[in-house]
């Protein structure tokens, strides 16, 4: 009986549930949130992207770099374990910092392996060289920089190409002293890579602790933004400058005082606008949001005064960077700054213009895509003003929607600014805009009325896009293909019978397309320079280099004819069944 009593006591002792009172409360309170662990883990996983290819390349040419990548690989695994195993918030923040250090190390390794840059980088490096030697930057063609596998060429719808510098000057100014030391295009890519790292660290420090690893993943993980930085894109420098502007942006000018932080934001905004044109599209949305927030807090006149001081700081900063270039040659400077908007570059990207470029035979009203893009920008600005309490949290995303309708709608316009999306998501909750001012419109109270107004604001853009997409091609083309070779046939020339179906004289320029990109311009051997309205002509065109290999059985090649004024495109498939005439 005693033994049984002792046994029952032992059982009670070990089967009693653990205490859930005060002794364990401190440990639970210090435990990190599960979504914080998830952010850290996602950032850790993002570092795997591109690690193997970088290690493989390094083993061929730079074994010490490969060794560093191997150590980083081990660090990624360890951080993955720690992200799920550590128990305290401070410990998880240390893991976040370790992930950031690993990401920076991998970015530097990638830069060491690939730092020559693409056309963006070599153009910026050449501009830096011009500045270092006191020579003009804008309006100067540099054709020798292009034609290599790494330096793409921006072709224009007028049958030419752009060989000049078409960005604001700040990145080139920053790269000038670096170029004086290195004398290579690596000067530009070093500046952009350094700006990306500095911007990432700034964003990491400014964000709330649970969001910090998200900054590492978005900026340095997945290998996308580091690739743009290694290419020398000036937009990366603009991104780094916009990060302090976007984080907690509703706090700018709080209480009617711009303060040192507001002045710093204005300086960064002006410098970003003096770096790359993408910052121009973000600026009006930001100013509308700031005015609405400050007017809801202070009233109309004090809000306008705060906005004027902030805008003045930004404008003076922009002017200080640009003044010497404008004084040197105002016309060339202005043309260079507006070049991406006025050059009429050949179609490119994943946007709506793909309907006319990839899925139909063309369009005689490509200009309407540009009209649609501009109208959508205006419509979204108006919608932001009217519904800032709802749309203000998406203020860093809205500026990039119009690019989807533009003729140059590549994803880089959106992708390079995605860290700003994260900055707003982490630091601008809806509560910060609850008291923002919104214009009162009579009879605009219910959701249906607001939805109708929002739809009306974007309808003109949609109508223009529909006109562009539904318009037929201006040229009806019938092709006779001349080939050489039997086992691997190649196109040597094409006879094009083109009928102009429009009432406008057209000056066509020809190129071929396999997939999404157009070839270099084909040479017109015979045929009129301008095709009169409602007339037909025969052209003989020859590919660049004298021949163009036909693709495989499951790929198609097209001949495109484009015009710059008006912007049009006509497409016809190049058939592989035609054979060269017997001699």
Domain extent listing, the chain: 2-113, 119-433, 475-573
**Average pLDDT value over all residues in the chain:** 91
Which residues in 435-472 are b (16+ Cβ under 10 Å) and which e? ebbbeeeeeeeeeeebeeebeebbebbbebbebbbebe
Mean pLDDT of 305-325: 98
DSSP 345: B
Q: Rounded to an integer, what distance in angstroms lies between the CA atom of residue 47 and that of residue 129? A: 35
pLDDT band for 10, please (50, 70, 90 cuts): very low
Is residue 22's pLDDT more than 50?
A: no
The structure's pTM equals 0.91
pLDDT for res 371: 97
CATH code, 475-573: 2.60.40
pLDDT band for 551, please (50, 70, 90 cuts): confident
pLDDT for res 224: 93
pLDDT for res 7: 46
Q: What is the residue whose two structure tokens read 């540099």?
A: 142
pLDDT band for 443, please (50, 70, 90 cuts): low
CA-closest candidate to residue 459, choices 372, 401, 381, 400: 372
Task: Tell me the sheet residues that pair with 531.
Answer: 506
pLDDT band for 444, please (50, 70, 90 cuts): low
More confident residue, 14 or 486: 486
pLDDT band for 168, please (50, 70, 90 cuts): very high
Taking only the tens place, the pLDDT of each residue in 42-98 is 999 999 998 999 999 999 999 999 999 999 999 999 999 999 999 999 999 999 999
Q: What is the residue whose two structure tokens read 């930085």?
A: 229
pLDDT for res 545: 86
Is residue 27's pLDDT more than 70?
A: no
Taking only the tens place, the pLDDT of each residue in 218-232 is 999 998 999 999 999
Mean pLDDT of 342-357: 93
Q: What percent of the chain has pLDDT over 70?
A: 93
Q: What is the residue whose two structure tokens read 């316009």?
A: 413
Is residue 4's pLDDT more than 60?
A: no
Residue 64 CB coordination number (10 Å): 10
Taking only the tens place, the pLDDT of each residue in 172-231 is 999 999 999 988 889 999 999 999 999 999 999 999 999 999 999 999 999 899 999 999
Q: Rounded to an integer, what distance in angstroms lies between the CA atom of residue 381 and that of residue 367? A: 22
Q: Rounded to an integer, what distance in angstroms lies between the CA atom of residue 419 and that of residue 349? A: 21
pLDDT band for 579, please (50, 70, 90 cuts): very low
pLDDT for res 399: 96
Mean pLDDT of 478-507: 91
Is residue 580's pLDDT more than 50?
A: no
Local structure of 498: helix, strand or coil: strand
More confident residue, 441 or 251: 251
């Amino acid at each position: 009986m005693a033994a049984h009593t002792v046994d029952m006591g032992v059982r009670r002792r070990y089967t009693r549930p653990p205490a859930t009172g005060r002794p364990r409360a401190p440990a639970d309170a210090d435990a990190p949130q599960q979504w914080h662990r998830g952010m850290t883990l996602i950032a850790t996983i993002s570092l795997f992207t591109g690690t193997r290819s970088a290690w493989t390349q390094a083993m061929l040419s730079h074994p010490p770099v490969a060794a560093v990548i191997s150590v980083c690989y081990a660090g990624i695994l360890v951080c993955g374990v720690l992200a799920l195993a550590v128990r305290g918030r401070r410990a998880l923040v240390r893991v976040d910092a370790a992930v950031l250090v690993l990401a920076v190390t991998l970015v530097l390794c990638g830069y060491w392996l690939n730092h020559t840059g693409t056309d963006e980088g070599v153009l910026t490096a050449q501009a830096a060289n011009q500045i270092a030697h006191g020579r003009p930057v804008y309006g100067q063609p540099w054709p020798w920089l292009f034609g290599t596998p790494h330096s793409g060429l921006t072709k224009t719808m007028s049958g030419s190409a752009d060989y000049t510098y078409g960005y604001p000057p700040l990145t080139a100014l920053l790269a000038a002293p670096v170029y004086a030391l290195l004398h290579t295009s690596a000067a530009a890519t070093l500046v952009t890579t350094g700006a990306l790292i500095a911007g990432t660290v700034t964003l990491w420090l400014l964000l709330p602790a649970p969001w910090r690893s998200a900054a590492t993943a978005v900026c340095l993980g997945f290998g996308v933004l580091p690739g743009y930085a290694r290419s020398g894109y000036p937009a990366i420098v603009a991104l780094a400058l916009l990060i302090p502007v976007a984080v907690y942006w509703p706090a700018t000018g709080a209480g009617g005082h711009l303060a040192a932080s507001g002045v710093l934001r204005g300086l960064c905004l002006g410098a970003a606008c003096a770096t790359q044109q993408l910052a121009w599209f973000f600026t009006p949305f930001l100013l509308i949001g700031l005015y609405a927030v400050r007017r809801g807090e202070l009233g109309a006149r004090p809000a306008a005064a705060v906005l004027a001081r902030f805008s003045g700081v930004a404008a003076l900063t922009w002017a200080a960077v640009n003044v010497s270039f404008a004084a040197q040659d105002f016309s060339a400077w202005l043309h260079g700054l507006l070049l991406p908007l006025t050059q009429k570059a050949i179609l490119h990207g994943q946007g709506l213009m793909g309907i006319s470029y990839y899925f139909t035979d063309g369009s005689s009203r490509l200009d309407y895509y540009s009209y649609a893009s501009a109208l959508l920008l205006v419509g979204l600005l108006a919608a932001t003003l009217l519904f800032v309490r709802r749309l203000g949290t998406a203020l860093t995303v809205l500026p990039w929607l119009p690019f989807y309708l533009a003729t140059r709608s590549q994803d880089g316009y959106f992708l390079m600014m995605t860290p700003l999306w994260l900055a707003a998501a982490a630091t601008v909750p809806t509560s910060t805009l609850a008291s923002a001012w919104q214009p009162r419109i009579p009879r605009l109270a219910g959701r249906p009325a607001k939805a109708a107004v929002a739809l009306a604001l974007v309808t003109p853009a949609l109508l223009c896009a529909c006109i562009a997409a539904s318009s037929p091609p201006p040229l009806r083309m019938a092709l006779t293909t001349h080939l050489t070779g039997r086992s691997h046939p190649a196109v040597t020339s094409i006879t094009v019978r083109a009928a102009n179906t429009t009432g406008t004289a057209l000056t066509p320029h020809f190129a071929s397309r396999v997939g999404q990109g157009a070839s270099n311009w084909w040479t017109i051997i015979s045929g009129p320079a301008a095709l009169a309205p409602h007339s037909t002509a025969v052209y003989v065109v020859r590919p660049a280099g004298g021949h163009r290999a036909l693709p495989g059985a499951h790929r198609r090649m097209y001949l495109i004819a484009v015009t710059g004024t008006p912007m049009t495109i006509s497409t016809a498939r190049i058939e592989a069944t035609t054979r060269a005439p017997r001699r």
